[in-house]
Amino acid sequence: MSALNERTERYYTLYKDNIKRISESSSPYINSFREAAIGRFNELGIPTKKNETYKYTSLDTFFNHDFKSCFIPVAQDFVKAEEFRCDVTDLDAHGIVLLNGFYPTIHDKLRELPGGIWIGSLNEAAKKFSKKIEMHYGKYAEDDKDGLVHLNTAMASDGVFIYVPEDVVLKKPIQIVNLVQSDEDIFNQHRNLIIVEKNADVTLIVCDHTLSPQKFLTNGVTEIYVGENSHFDIIRVQNEHNNAGKITHTFIHQERNSVASSNNITLHGGLVRNSTHHYLGGEGAESYSYGLYLADKFQHVDNYVNVNHAFPNCTSNQLFKGVLDDMATGAFNGRIFVRKDAQGTLAYQKNSSILLTDDAKMDTKPQLEIYADDVRCSHGATVGQLDENALFYLQSRGINKREARLMLMFGFAHDVIQNIKVEALRERMDNLVMQRLKGELSRCASCMVKCG
């Protein structure tokens, strides 16, 4: 390997200068991954458009930026974060609030919910659940081509830990609110680990918000283990300002007969890149991956989904839809990978986008890689406008054109939203999407930042 390029070098220096500080609060087991990870990162660097999975997304404006702070926030910021209230009315959930990837409260860094479920800070949990963490941490976040996953492994110093023991069904969802707020530009990396043991059922809602107009960049990795016969849903609602960059990597490892779904709803964000990896690691597992993106102005939303069928008789489904307005750009890259012995696979993938202006742009790349023969796989992708016939149908029944367009677009987006099982959230999302489509939601609801 020749000399590192300048950008990679900068992050390497950042690592070298701060590794002591980062390691201090983490457990030795988590620290043991860091050196190898930074080595891999040095080889791979920050992904560029030459990287096939980042072909349509340029991270330059964010990674070339000189962020002032990258680590543990100071205590003064905590107050505002504590005041934050979720605006989803009627949502009854067990909440956790994170500020810049860290727990704002000093107390209660790890707490117990009914049924013996534990939620809290990963660093705190490492003390109490060291065995569990050794069993699962770093096992699922495998991406040979993405330097950012390794950068996270090397430098992330905390994140959320959730442990759901066997046979526990949690009726109320768990809600994580990720806040980013600072007087300085921040680059933050957090690392989450979620362990769902056998026969359990749990729903997780993750909400991303920005509270101040500074330039932010988040690079988060979430590892999720879903045990045999378990049921796990993750719903991510992203609502950040135009100057924020959000990169998430979610790795879901599923055992036999488990059912897992992920739902990425992107309402707003400067640059959003979600990569979701489903590993179907046992017979009869089912995975569902949904996504909805509504972007305008200069926003860019990129969804990458990788479904790995490693065992026979698994089912997977992907549905991603989006509406792009103004100069917004969107990208979708879905991949279904069926291994040699994964006979009896059923896999489906669909991406549809609507472009509302001449300057909006959509790039889509649905892929199938199949090495088994007894499979039924299909995918479809469309980019276009609203169906003229449908518009005409509605108009001929006395609905004016504007209203008819709205109805059609709403129906288009609702396809994704209807998969949200938490009713309060589903209604709220429908509501937000409606407002958004009507143009009433010119900036994010509840956003304190007037980013315009």
Partner 1 sequence: MGKDKDKIISEVTSGEYKYGFYSDIEMEQIPKGLSEDVVRIISKKKNEPDWLLEFRLKAFRHWQTMKMPEWANLIIPKINYQDIIFYSAPKQKAKYESIDDIDPELKKTFDKLGIPLEEQKHLAGVAVDAVMDSVSVKTTFRETLAESGIIFCSFSDAVKEYPDLVKRYMGTVVPYTDNFFASLNSAVFSDGSFCYIPKGVRCPMELSTYFRINAASTGQFERTLLVADEESYVSYLEGCTAPMRDENQLHAAIVEIIAENNAEVKYSTVQNWYPGDKNGKGGIFNFVTKRGLCRGENSKISWTQIETGSAITWKYPSCILKGDNSTGEFYSVAVVNNHQQADTGTKMIHIGKNTKSTIVSKGISAGQGQNSYRGLVKVLKNAMGARNYSQCDSLLLGDKCGAHTFPYIEVDNQTAIVEHEATTSKIGEDQIFYCNQRGISTEGAIGLIVNGYAREVINKLPMEFAVEAQKLLQISLEGSVG
Q: Contact positions toward partner 1, by CB under 8 A?
A: 52, 56, 340, 343, 353, 355-358, 360-385
Cβ of residue 210: shortest distance to partner 1, in angstroms? 29
Smallest separation, CB 374 to partner 1 (Å)? 6
In this structure, the strands spanning 186-188 and 110-113 are: unpaired
Which of 32/51 has CB closer to partner 1? 51
Judge whether 240 and 213 are in contact, CB under 8 Å: no
Q: How many CB atoms lie within 10 A of CB 13?
A: 11
Q: Supply φ then ψ for residue 16, to 5 degrees.
A: -60, -40
Instruction: List the structure tokens of 88.
Output: 């989803």
CB of 17 to partner 1, least distance (A): 36
Looking at the Cβ atoms of 250 and 345, the one nearer to partner 1 is 345
- The CB-of-382 to partner 1 minimum distance in angstroms stands at 5
Looking at the Cβ atoms of 19 and 368, the one nearer to partner 1 is 368
Residue 202 structure tokens: 């749990």
Of the pair 380, 411, the CB lying nearest partner 1 is at 380
Q: Is the dihedral of CA 260, 145, 160, 102 positive or negative?
A: negative
Asked if 168 and 117 count as a contact pair (C-beta separation under 8 A), the reply is yes
Could you give the 3-state DSSP secondary structure of residue 153? helix
Which of 83, 373 has the CB closer to partner 1? 373
Q: Closest approach of Cβ 347 to partner 1, in Å? A: 9
The DSSP 8-state label assigned to residue 357 in this structure reads S
Query: CB of 348: closest distance to partner 1 in angstroms?
Result: 10
Answer for the pair 31, 137: CB distance below 8 angstroms, yes or no.
Answer: no
User: Could you tell me if 227 and 197 are in contact, meaning their C-beta atoms sit under 8 angstroms apart?
Assistant: yes
Nearer residue to partner 1 within complex by CB, 10 or 365: 365
Least gap, CB of 356 to partner 1 (angstroms): 6
CB 145 within 8 A of CB 51: yes
Tell me whether residue 386 or residue 448 sits nearer to partner 1 (CB atom): 386
Using an 8 Å Cβ cutoff, are 360 and 326 in contact? Answer: yes
C-alpha distances (whole Å) from 319 to each of 77, 124, 289, 322, 338 are: 38, 37, 6, 10, 18
Contact by Cβ (8 Å): 405, 391: yes
**How near is the Cβ of 39 to partner 1 at its closest, in Å?**
23
Give whichever of 56 and 103 is closer to partner 1, judged by the CB atom. 56
